[in-house]
Chains A and B, each alone.
Chain A
């Protein structure tokens, strides 16, 4: 019974939403719209669940004094402080919340993302080796894109004696070709595969074949 009722709900609601897509009758469309509004509320609750889970995991880490517990404590203090400031002082420009966002969170997030460039440089040096045919092709394509996508690359190309002067936009054309032909072909394959996978997974769930979403922690 614990499993049958959710399966029946999934089946009925799922197929009703598919039906609403094809039936323009106001009664069907309005009821489907109403259910979509509920979904927005349910999605909002996932945020609460996420915060609850975060607090639980880090509180346990602090309680057991696990390695790095001090960082967990910092995280929970920041979480509480930002929530309190936002809830009681507002989030608009000029509030304490906005000041902290602008002066702490924004620079920290930007710094975290910019570290990526350093790791890419290091990884490119160590791992980007022409070990075989495929790796060599990937390496050449990456180098063309990296040079062709920046203005310095185009500028230098145009100043290469003979070649650059004779074919000034060749680098741009090759860069565009790599992006528009091999890259797009690969992307299409991935997208079609992922879409077919999503459709089959949705059908499996609606028909009750796929039931993993009903269980947690191996139960």
Chain B
């Protein structure tokens, strides 16, 4: 028995990798649908867009790159879908240069397929990437055309129909940031909301969700979608289950497996330690 426990404490990490890989693959193949309860934070973010008057401009900032796609891409799709359904005018941009093509991808997959009547320049605009981070946000509060003289397609920003009515960040009904780190959601809270009073909401990766709890409690952040769970909850709210809802069964089993590993590891640790003490 002791040999077995000692072997268990020294188990080759490749067995753990294999177990996790098989669990996730199996969960994705079987794809069990689990009931999803919507948390208050996600509901608050949904309500923010839901309560905006039709035709209000909103800013969507893609502050992530392909590394965080599994968590944030389904969320940005769900929120974009929601905004389009509500006929909100979406101004898109990003603070991560490697994330900008994801806006294009999202436009192709969501807007062009599901909302073919929406017109570029009138219903949505892609401003692309610009360096500057917080300074860029402050400049946008003065004039978006100053911050982005051209859009992603090299059109002059102030010639676009939508941008003729949306001159500055202060004209936005809300800012939504899909954030994988810095620059991202915190920067929008600190400048767009705190300095210019524009309501901010968004989503972040699961690992960074705890750091936003203080902003949520203080009311500086109007709702939050944390990781794939947040995205799945938003998909449930817009009644369009997608990649996040599919991924939740895999994530559920992976979490249980990791907790199982922690328990086995501790059990082996305590039993071998007791024997050593004797």
Contact = CB atoms under 8 A, between A and B. Distances in A.
Nearest to B13: A122
Contacts of A172: 37
A150 B251 contact: yes
Interface in A173-209: 176, 179-180, 183-184, 187-188, 191
A155 interface: yes
Interface string B127-147: 000111101101100100011
A128 interface: yes
Contacts of A184: 213-214, 217
A127 B254 CA distance: 18
A109 B66 contact: yes
A179 B135 CA distance: 32
Contact of A187 (B20, B130, B210, B251): B210
Which label, helix, strand, loop or mixed, suits the secondary structure of the B interface?
helix
A47 B252 contact: no
Given A37-B146, A43-B135, A98 B104 contact: yes
A36 B262 contact: no
Contacts of A54: none
Interface residues of B, number: 66
A52 interface: no
Interface string A118-146: 10111011101110000000010011001
A140 to B, nearest CB: 10
A179 B213 contact: yes
A106 interface: yes
Interface string B60-72: 0000011111100
Contact of A152 (B98, B253, B264): B253
A18 interface: no
B66 A187 contact: no
B25 interface: no
A113 B67 CA distance: 5
A139 B265 CA distance: 12
Interface string B204-226: 00100011011001000000000
Given A93-B101, A124-B265, A184-B214, 10 more contacts: A33-B139, A44-B131, A92-B152, A105-B98, A117-B20, A122-B13, A125-B11, A150-B252, A151-B34, A187-B210
- Please list the 3 inter-chain residue pairs (A to B) with the smallest Cβ-Cβ separation, ordered nearest first: A152-B252, A40-B132, A109-B66
Interface of B: 11, 13, 16-17, 19-21, 24, 34-37, 39, 65-70, 97-98, 100-102, 104-105, 108, 130-133, 135-136, 138-139, 142, 146-147, 152-153, 206, 210-211, 213-214, 217, 229, 232, 248-249, 251-259, 261-262, 264-266, 269-270
